[in-house]
Amino acid sequence: MNHPKARLRLRSAWATTALLALLGLAPAPLAAQEGAAAVQDVTVNDVVIPLGGTLLKAPKLTASGTRLSKEDLAAILRPDSSVPWEQRLARLDAGSLTVPVLTSENAGPGDNRQTVTYRDVVARDIRAGRVGELTAAGATVSSVAGPNRGSGTYGQVRATDLDLAALSRLYTVPGDGKGPVQRVYGTIQVSDVTYSDARGTTVKLARLDGRDLGGRQVPDGWAGAFAIVANGFDGSGDRRPLAAAAADLIDATSVGSLEMQGLSVSDTDPKGPVLFEIGRAAYTSTGAEGGTTLDNLSLTRGPLRIRVGRVAALGTSLAPTVATLQGIAAEPTGGAGFSDVEMRRLTPKLGTLTLTDLTVDLPPEAEPERVPPRDVRPPVRGALPEPRHPASPCARRRSPSGRRPRACPARPASASPA
């Protein structure tokens, strides 16, 4: 399961994406025969849109190439409109939409909070609810997850072929989870991501690329399902809603391909700093290379070094994970948490795992202290060890000429052997 901070960021990211969809509101299609004089720029201020547990704020929004009046655009952006977002988005066209500052404030579960502020958001070529290109110059992130606080930054964000109507349906309209896959993004790129928390953990990502991302409508809507999952990980309540929502989201998500480059996780552990790096991580859903590959992995902790050239996991399936979650969701009575046996059953099925170019550098072992060798030879018969007496003052005192002082008796001559 995901870490609480990861769940908080994921939930907020989908909510923020939904806001970007809402910002795709523009006038009805421009007809060439109606004349270019009808085209104008319209600006509305202080746009506030509640979306589940996320509050979306745009102090200023400008629609260019639109025939809507300021009042018309303000009415479309009104959060209490009786017309569903899906219907409003599907009939709107515009040359571009510009939002200098876009803020997503996500609250919950509990005291958790996350704020993401995007700069210079621009949507271009909006036609019938589709955006040709969506960009943001960058973003800042601040979050509170229990006692832990963190902050970070994003570089440029870019998406193409964004279907705003499909995004709105997935996020807000319930379904049975068995309908057709609705593609939301043609491509998406995020660069230069850095995030650090108060515990000393820092995550960096040079680049993320995704292609053909979408999904199916689920019974609680994606917004409702994410809320259930986020609130269900405290382990104190009935686990069945959590299992059902997680199974729906996993089974409904569709990813053509994902690739990460330059991923690193560092930690200032008291036992020694830890650095884990992946040069490239890629997932492809189809084809000969279908599966997950990790290139140029390394783990460093003090003098320990572990390096792996490539890890390839092909034929991986989440079907056992989904089936186990669905079985838990169908239980007649609910419990809290998951047992060790259930956690093993939640493990995805692995077809083929290949590991190449493994190198391990272990820290050198400390050499034991050398003890001088003992003399094990037996003593000579009749020989007695020479007694050791502390040196007398006379032995230490000599005159400059080398003679003993008069007060010291002369040493007797040794007897010559017979």
3-class SS of residue 7 = helix
> What span, in angstroms and rounded, lies between the C-alpha atoms of 142 and 108?
14
Contacts of 164 (CB under 8 A, 6+ apart): 21, 22, 24, 89, 126, 129, 130, 131
Is residue 25 within a helix (H) or strand (E), and if so which, with residue range?
none
Phi then psi for residue 144, to 5 deg, are: -130, 120
Question: How crowded is the C-beta side of 411, counted as CA atoms within 13 Å?
Answer: 8
pLDDT per residue rounded down to tens, the chain (418 residues)? 444 444 444 455 444 444 444 444 333 444 334 444 478 899 989 988 776 667 889 999 999 998 778 887 787 778 788 888 777 777 777 889 999 999 999 877 677 888 999 999 999 998 877 899 999 999 999 988 777 789 999 999 999 999 988 888 888 889 998 999 999 999 999 999 999 998 889 999 999 999 999 999 999 999 889 888 887 776 667 899 999 999 999 999 999 999 999 999 999 877 778 999 999 999 998 766 678 999 999 999 888 899 999 999 988 889 999 999 999 999 998 888 888 898 999 998 888 899 999 999 987 775 666 767 766 666 666 555 555 555 555 555 555 555 555 555 555 554 444 4
- What are 291's two structure tokens? 């599966």
DSSP secondary structure string, 196-260? EETTSEEEEEEEEEEEEEEE---TTHHHHHHHHHHHHTTSSS-HHHHHHHHHHHHHHEEEEEEEE
Instruction: Provide the whole-model pTM.
Output: 0.72
State the burial class of residue 217 (Cβ atoms within 10 Å of its Cβ: 0-12, 13-18, 19+).
Answer: buried
Whether residue 123 contacts residue 20, with contact meaning beta carbons closer than 8 Å, is answered with: yes
> What span, in angstroms and rounded, lies between the C-alpha atoms of 203 and 15?
22
Residue environment code for 27-63, b if the CB has 16+ CB neighbours within 10 A, otherwise e: beebeeeeeeeeeeebebeebebebbbbbbbbeebbb
Axis-axis angle for helices 319-329, 239-252 (nearest 10): 150
Q: Read off the amino acid at residue 90.
A: A
Q: Identify the residue whose tokens are 């409702």.
A: 224
